[in-house]
Amino acid sequence: MNRKPLIKKAYGSIGHLPFSKLGTGDHKINEGQTRICCLKKRDEFDTILVQEKLDGSCCSIAKINGNIYALSRAGYIASTSPYKQHHLFEKWALRQKDRFDFLEEGERIVGEWLAQAHGTIYNLTHEPYVVFDIFNKENQRYVYDEMMEKLKNGNFITPYLLHRGDSVNVENVLNKLGKYGFHGAIDPVEGAVWRVERKNKVDFLAKYVRSDKENGKYLPEMNNNIKEPIWNWNPPF
């Protein structure tokens, strides 16, 4: 069995805005990108969208050679992961493969798998997979409106849209987001993601993570005080 049918990672890293909390290996966007996100867009061709940033495991569903694969962020088949949360993701996805029939060959959706608490506990009022991107076979992101149209086919959940239009600063976004966001977070929400689109293409993404965010505080492999996984979702299988 090919453990990495996608060959590449399913999802790369997103640069941070200034004053965002960095994790291991993270990077910041440049000053010009920060200006576009938060201060002033270049011209009328820029559109700035901001969505709630969710706190789970980044996972993907891809159509490769006509088959549907559930993948980890690194691009490996989810069931080859050492972690139960990824095994559950594959079971969840393959039990409803027909929802992914809309994917064309080489396309993949990417989202946050919220089954297990990482740094945030959620009282979920929707399914545990929240989709935030679709890539075409050329590995290019669909723009927001096209993505949302495609996702209607599978009736997927997407991160709450906080803003659309001109540049917007972090303070205004956090005021709209509130302490707990819009997806049932019990802990203070992680942050937000800026999406800059230009001339029907996704130019770049940026994120802001709260400075007091404790990454992975509920993961047994990162916190010795946590002996067992904490689940946001109880699988019906």
Q: Does the residue 114 lie in any domain?
A: yes
Give residue 80's domain range: 15-22+29-209
Q: What are the b/e assignments for 13-39, b being 16+ CB within 10 Å?
A: ebbbbeebbeeeeeeebeeebbebbbe
Q: Does the residue 10 lie in any domain?
A: no
Q: Does the residue 231 lie in any domain?
A: no
User: For residue 56, which amino acid is it?
Assistant: G
Q: 142-163: per-residue pLDDT in tens? A: 999 999 999 999 999 999 999 9
- What CATH number is given to the structural domain containing 160? 3.30.470.30
Whether 17 and 28 have beta carbons less than 8 Å apart is answered as yes
Q: Does the residue 9 lie in any domain?
A: no
* pLDDT at position 159: 98
Whether 154 and 100 have beta carbons less than 8 Å apart is answered as yes
Q: What are the b/e assignments for 88-117, b being 16+ CB within 10 Å?
A: bbbebbeeeeebbeebeeebbbbbbbbbbb
For the chain, the domain total comes to 1
Whole-prediction pTM = 0.96
Q: 184-233: per-residue pLDDT in tens? A: 999 999 999 999 999 999 999 999 999 999 999 999 999 999 999 999 99
Q: Does the residue 5 lie in any domain?
A: no
pLDDT at residue 1 above 70? Answer: no
Q: Does the residue 227 lie in any domain?
A: no
Report d(CA 177, CA 171) in Å as an integer.
10
